[in-house]
Amino acid sequence: MSALAAASPAAADLTVCNRTSFVLDAAIGLEAAGATATRGWFRFEPGQCRPVLSGDMPGGQLLLHARALAIYGRDAFSQDGHRELCVEDGDFLIAAATSCTAPARPARFAVVVPKATAQGPTAALTEDADFSIDAARRAGVQRLLAVAGYDPGPIDGLPGRRTDQALARLVAARRLPADTARGPAVFERLVAAAEAAGGRGLTWCNDTRHAVMAALGEDDHGAIVSRGWWRVEPGRCVAPDALGPAPRRLFSFAEAVGPDGAVVTEGGRALAWGGPTLLCTRASRFELRDHADCAGRGLDVRGFAAVELAGQRGRTVWFGTRSAPPHALGRD
């Protein structure tokens, strides 16, 4: 408890680094001598390292819980944790964090083992891509550009012209300083741009027990561009990046897949969600603008459903079972 209370950015021995592409709020926990305390929240930008505990590392276990900002969508960042400890909204310090009393609520914490570095003990928040610090910062910029509606290409943490062009379009559209990309407030400005976008666009939510692979179509100056694939895990939501900042209509196709990657069938039919608009796709990642003679060009053809966005802040398409078909919800 005293160790958590003494947490200070002035002289801390324990540092946490955010090696993900998300802006995260994190809480820490300490478990020692039969007592468990938690403290939060610490804001971490992608690629940022900051101290969270001062003084010598106490004995016992260190635990971490992290959540992504709401602008990324529900369950955008997943942290595997097996200990339920108490947290609250706003700044908090909870001395007895194993039994929650309102306004405290339980959250899943993961046990972490800090590594010894030249700067002292250091723990890291990571995602599957396993970004370096520099790559996490670039990927964080890419992800916020996508959320704001400016397509940066793949969120891979690599420098590239497509990301630079997307950032330049956002800077020009919002009349931001020319040095935004290099300035210390880049994430603050990108978060504000994503919030101002108001969730415009499409969100897929998977209400089945299967993984779902989804593809997107978008009208680009009179021609429909189809792109895929996005993987939507059971119980999760994914917001795909659109080509333009404010699309009026998108097209959606998705199919459930098993552990072997094969399309799931129910009652002899593929478990898929689409509509009458026929567009070309292929099994691997794709971006296609020509949808004539798909089969003759060695491509697959899928029926996409139109999702109208005009006059709405966004729409959510839920993938359900045959007994509970997919439906789109507006977010006015």
If you average pLDDT over residues 285-303, what whole number do you get?
Answer: 94
- As given in the structure block, the two tokens for residue 264 are 């799931």
Please tell me the predicted confidence (pLDDT) of residue 87.
Answer: 95
If you average pLDDT over residues 260-281, what whole number do you get?
Answer: 93
More confident residue, 214 or 330: 214
Please tell me the predicted confidence (pLDDT) of residue 57.
Answer: 64
Instruction: List Cβ neighbours of 288 (8 Å cut-off, separation of 6 or more).
Output: 225, 226, 227, 279, 280, 281, 282, 299
127 contacts 143 by C-beta, under 8 angstroms: no
Work out whether strand 237-238 and strand 249-257 pair parallel, antiparallel, or are unpaired: unpaired
Please tell me the predicted confidence (pLDDT) of residue 325.
Answer: 39
List alpha helices for 87-244, DSSP H: 133-148, 161-174, 186-197
12-26, 104-118, 168-182: the lowest-pLDDT one: 168-182
Alpha-carbon gap, residue 85 to 93, rounded angstroms = 12
DSSP conformation letters of 237-259: EE-PPPSSSS-SEEEEEEEEE-T
More confident residue, 58 or 92: 92
Give the distance, in angstroms, between the CA of residue 170 and the centroid of all CA atoms in the same chain: 20
- As given in the structure block, the two tokens for residue 154 are 């793949």
**Is the pTM above the cut of 0.75?**
no
**Pick from 198, 252, 262: which is nearest to 229 by CA?**
252
85-94, 146-155, 283-292: the lowest-pLDDT one: 146-155
Instruction: List Cβ neighbours of 290 (8 Å cut-off, separation of 6 or more).
Output: 280
More confident residue, 96 or 202: 96
Q: Is 214 exposed, middle or buried (0-12, 13-18, 19+ CB in 10 A)?
A: buried
Please tell me the predicted confidence (pLDDT) of residue 198.
Answer: 55
Q: What are phi and psi of 136, to 5 degrees?
A: -60, -40
pLDDT of 2 over the 70 cut: no
Work out whether strand 12-19 and strand 120-126 pair parallel, antiparallel, or are unpaired: parallel
Please tell me the predicted confidence (pLDDT) of residue 36.
Answer: 93
Cβ-based neighbour number of residue 285 at 10 Å: 10
**Residue showing tokens 């970004």:** 131
Which range is most confident: 66-80, 190-204, 227-241? 227-241
Alpha-carbon gap, residue 33 to 191, rounded angstroms = 41
Please tell me the predicted confidence (pLDDT) of residue 37.
Answer: 94
Please tell me the predicted confidence (pLDDT) of residue 200.
Answer: 52
pLDDT band at 11 (very low <50, low <70, confident <90, very high): very low
Q: Tell me if residue 144 falls in helix, strand or coil.
A: helix
The contacts found for 170-177 with CB under 8 angstroms, 24 or more apart, are: 170/145, 173/245
Please tell me the predicted confidence (pLDDT) of residue 329.
Answer: 38
Alpha-carbon gap, residue 286 to 308, rounded angstroms = 23
116-125, 242-251, 284-293: the lowest-pLDDT one: 242-251
Q: Where are the domains of the chain?
A: 14-126, 133-197, 202-319
DSSP conformation letters of 17-47: EEESSS-EEEEEEEEETTEEEEEEEEEE-TT
- Degrees to nearest 5, angle at CA 124 with 122 and 128: 155
If you average pLDDT over residues 115-126, what whole number do you get?
Answer: 88
20 contacts 27 by C-beta, under 8 angstroms: no
**Chain segment 310-327, per-residue pLDDT in tens:** 766 567 788 876 433 344
pLDDT band at 232 (very low <50, low <70, confident <90, very high): confident
- As given in the structure block, the two tokens for residue 303 are 């029926």
- As given in the structure block, the two tokens for residue 277 are 């608009």
More confident residue, 153 or 95: 95
Alpha-carbon gap, residue 224 to 291, rounded angstroms = 8
If you average pLDDT over residues 2-27, what whole number do you get?
Answer: 74
More confident residue, 157 or 174: 157
Please tell me the predicted confidence (pLDDT) of residue 23.
Answer: 95
DSSP conformation letters of 81-113: --EEEEE-SSSEEESSTTS--TT-EEEEEEEE-
214-228, 252-266, 270-284: the lowest-pLDDT one: 214-228
